[in-house]
Amino acid sequence: MEYFLEGKTIFITGATGFLAKILVEKILRVQPNVKKLFLLVRASDTKSAKKRFNDEVMQTELFIVLREKIGVNNLNSLIEEKVFPIAGDISFEDFGIENSEMKNEMFKEIDIIINSAATTRFDERYDIAMNINVQGAVNVLNFAKRCVNVKIIIHVSTAYVCGEGEGIIQEKSFTLGETLNKNSKLDIDVEKKVIEEKLKELEAQRSTTKEVTMAMRDLGIQRANLHGWPNTYSFTKAMGEMLLGHFKENLQLVIIRPTIITSTYKEPFPGWIEGVKTVDSFILAYGKGVLNFCFGDPNSKIDMIPGDMVVNSILAAIIAHIGKDRYYSSQELIYHISSSKRNPLKSSDIRLFLFHYFTKNPWINKDGKIIKVGMPTLFSNMDSFQKYISTYYWPLLKIVELVNVLSWHRFDKTYKDLKRKIDMSIRLCELYKPYVLFHGSFDDCNSERLRMTMKGYNMDDKLNFDPNCIKWEDYFMKTHLPGAVKHIF
């Protein structure tokens, strides 16, 4: 790796995101002789971008290993010399970079582009998701076409662009306009017009900001469902892939499709996580005593992969493909970074891990109360879950509501807490149903070839992304759950 990335200039979008932070730390730790890192940071100007990078990236615990390895002063010098936070926004042409001198320098020097910018909220406003996940990808591509020395674009997508697939999900590309239900025709320009018209309609109705947000979230889900995708996130990420593949011309494009990204497995240390990820929503709610159930077919596979393994796959793909003369088909340049095929993890396993961990390590809330948990009830489909809510919780909520009214609102807090639990339960199940009731396995033949390539370079340990090495019970009990409690509870 030292040889391959030495003297290279790398441009990374989404630089304050979870994955990009791990990526930046890894590059600086193992290859301090990289020439430059241009990091796109959403900010109004360079000063604000530098401050945000320092506050949200460098000051995180993630950099403690590097800080101890080379010392604070040397790290500061390294950052000053190599790292250049760029104020911009991926949803604008040329990212809205106003400094023409800096922009021209980027056009001349960039060798590698890694697009990790995305909104990962499943029910994001359709206009926002379109701007970031779709138009943002196009803006990265157009910028790359003006970089005279660019050798490769790595686009971080998601394995769940496949929707609610079954069987073996292949590492294959989309064609422009392809849909998952085969009964509709997808025209991305039409989707943009639908957004524009809806916003005009809401403006004419003088809708409040909250009303606009809810309407645009609903619109995203509706349009996604129309074309066969379960949510706005996977739908817009698929459209982004389509446009990149269709308009890339001679640029070498690699698409990394990770599954559910979890805390670090090994580097820079085990268990680092930031923000509430997919499965962590249930972990958080269960550990804090808000929910007492798990949602998922006991035999369905929950495909998870640690964040540092995803980063290793990105770097491996760069090393394998940069400057190579061999022609690769678009199908060969898509990598599922996943675990379900080689080291499957079942819903029922996670249920046991949660129960055992929080029984041994109960959460203590801000009032000093120990939160005791029971074995979570497992619902294998939406019907059984909705029946459970209708039978046990809605009648109870109605009784509490009546008592609250008759007692002049003495039980306001009890009523609101119960309603919050019910609303959260329903929302979590609706949002995460495509992931926890997923009945497919992700083929990773391309990824396996990439692993073998790294083995040929004697770099399979330094850039390990082999799910076979993960012992799931150890990982959950000793790494992921302690990390989640420490960093997101």
Give the tens place of pLDDT for each residue, 8-35: 999 999 999 999 999 999 999 999 999 9
- For residue 1, pLDDT over 60 is answered with no
Token pair of 92 as six digits: 């604008």
Mean per-residue pLDDT, 153-157: 98
Catalytic residues: 233, 237
pLDDT > 70 in the chain, percent: 97
Number of C-beta neighbours around residue 447 at 10 A = 26
> Does pTM surpass 0.95?
no
Instruction: State yes or no: pLDDT of 241 exceeds 70.
Output: yes
CB burial readout 260-276, b (16+ within 10 A) else e:
bbbbbbebbebbbbbeb
Distance CA 194, CA 127 (A): 10
| pLDDT for res 416 | 81
Find the range with the poorest average confidence among 44-58, 228-242, 283-297.
Answer: 283-297
Which pLDDT score is estimated for 485? 92
Residue 367 pLDDT: 87
pLDDT grade for 476, boundaries at 50, 70 and 90:
very high
What's the rounded Cα separation, in Å, for the pair 384 and 59? 45
- Residues above pLDDT 90, as percent of the chain: 72
Q: Select from 368, 364, 377, 266 the least CA-distant residue to 312.
A: 266
Name residues whose C-beta falls within 8 Å of residue 366's C-beta, 6 or more positions apart in sequence.
Answer: none
- Beta-bridged to residue 355, according to DSSP, are none
From CA 290, how far away is CA 276, in angstroms rounded? 15
pLDDT of residue 325: 58
| pLDDT tens digits, 413-440 | 887 877 777 777 777 677 777 777 788 8
Closest C-alpha to 30, from 66, 80, 73? 66
Whether omega before 268 lies within 30 degrees of 0, making that bond cis, reads yes
Q: How big, in percent rounded to 5, are the helix, strand and coil portions of the chain?
A: 55, 10, 35
pLDDT of the residue at 327: 61
362-414 pLDDT, tens digit per residue, is 999 888 899 999 998 888 777 777 787 777 777 777 787 787 777 777 878 88
Q: What is the pLDDT of residue 420?
A: 77
Over residues 302-313, the pLDDT tens digits come to: 999 999 999 999
Adjacent-strand bridge partners of 41: 87
Give residue-wise pLDDT tens across range 90-111. Answer: 999 999 998 899 999 999 999 9
What average pLDDT does range 244-258 have in this prediction?
95
- As a whole number of angstroms, the distance between CA 173 and CA 84 comes to 33
pLDDT of residue 330: 64
Mean of the per-residue pLDDT values for the chain? Answer: 91
Residue 149 pLDDT level (bands cut at 50, 70, 90): very high
- Give CA–CA dist 18/374, Å, rounded: 32
225 three-class SS: helix
Amino acid letter, residue 341: K
